[in-house]
Chain A
């Protein structure tokens, strides 16, 4: 009985002194998003217009990568994220063309469209595991692409796509601002929209990590059979992860359609979206909230630096960086940092005493 009391006391003190780093990070991110445009403007003046656009791309990649990671926590590697992105993009484009609703409505409805598609796709594919799931989901984007491509042109625009009006049209007021400030205001407004979507994604990820779903996802990833015997319903948990993984990417696709000004079959259902969605969290560190965001910020910086240094063939350098980092940081940037911190924290602690555990039956 005394041992029981002791355990509870130890657990209590640990909980009391633990810093909620995830929530601290969320607040820091919110503050960074709120002040980023003004900071860039103050430091870079006219150049801040393009910097803001680069920062927006980094937010976009963060949303995509973190969303992908939420599903990856259940062990399912999705190649369907271009489909969710494109479903969101085409939803808002079609609404603009065929319904007279406020432009903003397309963004949440883009998320809804992605969720519906995830439910349909998940019901069919989530019982598959590993490479079989990946291949089944890869076809999803191709199917949607073929659908919009072959729908009659007056409906979905066919190969030429559809125009999507901008969400923001700041007006130039002579005497009160310079010409470039119009572009800055437009980019600033988009940056905030992306920032809000990213904060929502981060919040969803944190809520998963703080709930029992974190344990369910990890258990399913490491051993689905044992997870079932422990009372976890793998099919339900994976479908929930799939839905969470799709909703923000659908919204992202919708926002991006307005920012770019058009949707095209090739561009909205691009394999590049699918590849970035999985490469970025692998680079940053899987199965965490922080890893995919670190990966997105890191890869965006690397790509932009390379692009400015070598205008031609910079993608080759980008590929080399990716290959090297995956070879030498198999657990991503965050895994590397954790390893370094752990080594510093207990330099005397050796390897686990037990060796040769691979030989066990």
Chain B
């Protein structure tokens, strides 16, 4: 299997704080890869380093075999990286379809307008948003916004999609829909990397799990394996149970 994302000894320091320290992992094509860990473990920082919103203090990021450590977010997007944000951030002055069209228009340089519109409509259909195309993005419910966040990222035609806590704030029924959506996206051949707090979601979705704590990798493996790890139970699950 080919490696889609390879992070090597990644580190990010904010002043004296090491938000991410010596983190290495590989994501293989076609898998659903989860990053879990308590608050402040550095999960979102990792996604920011991979998508180019932050420059690492040390280490390397490779995307589909290319070193992109110094590449801009736009260049990484063009290389096949999609990203949905934790705090949903639609462009409020655009309709839902225009939001998705932005991803389609700019995700692939040189794509014609007609092809971009077609691609945007495909992304809307996959995410079940077609009926809402003309709605202003500021008038959406949270679940619709989360779908929009994914639709917009999909419209850039990513090889790998980073999802930052897309289930947060959703009701159980909505979360089940969202799980179905993520699986449908993977079945289209898109590799998925996601951050998640809700453990049943991780269990249902993840092929492999990377557990982080205090900016470092605690362990990595299948869900059943990592959840038996004493360090993980102590750092993460134990705290959840106690709460």
Given known A-B contacts A215-B102, A219-B91, A231 and B108 have beta carbons under 8 A apart? yes
Measured between beta carbons, the chain B residues less than 8 angstroms from A234 are 74
> Which residues of chain B (90-113) have a CB below 8 Å from chain A?
91-94, 98, 101-103, 105-109, 113
CA distance A361 to B39 in the complex (A): 15
B169 lies within 8 A of A222 (CB): no
Contact for B130 among A7, A218, A360, CB less than 8 A:
A7
Q: Which residues of B contact A8 (CB under 8 A)?
A: 121
Chain A positions 221 through 246: 1 when the CB is less than 8 Å from some CB of chain B, otherwise 0: 01101111111111000000000000
Q: Does B117 contact A (CB under 8 A)?
A: yes
Question: How many residues on B have C-beta within 8 angstroms of the other chain's C-beta atoms?
Answer: 43
Taking CB atoms and an 8 Å cut-off, the chain A residues in 198-218 that contact chain B are: 212, 215-216, 218
Decide if A216 touches B106 in the complex (CB within 8 Å): yes
Q: Are B83 and A229 in contact (CB under 8 A)?
A: yes
A230:B102 contact, CB within 8 angstroms: yes
B231 lies within 8 A of chain A by Cβ: no
Bound-state Cα–Cα, A361 to B164, Å: 14
On whether A228 and B53 interact (CB within 8 A), knowing A4-B125, A7-B130, A218-B94, the answer reads: yes
| Contact B91–A229 (Cβ < 8 Å) | no
Which residues of the other chain, A, contact B139 by a CB distance below 8 angstroms?
352, 354
Q: From A7, A223, A228, give the contact of B74 (CB < 8 A).
A: A228
Contact B53 A229 (CB under 8 A): yes
Task: Given A222-B92, A225-B73, A230-B107, output 4 extra A-B contacts at Cβ < 8 Å.
Answer: A215-B102, A218-B93, A231-B74, A232-B74
Sample 13 A-B pairs with CB under 8 A, ordered by A number: A11-B121, A222-B93, A223-B91, A226-B89, A227-B102, A228-B73, A229-B53, A229-B74, A230-B77, A231-B74, A231-B103, A354-B139, A360-B142
Interface residues, chain A, CB within 8 Å of chain B?
A: 3-4, 7-8, 11, 212, 215-216, 218-219, 222-223, 225-234, 352, 354, 360-361
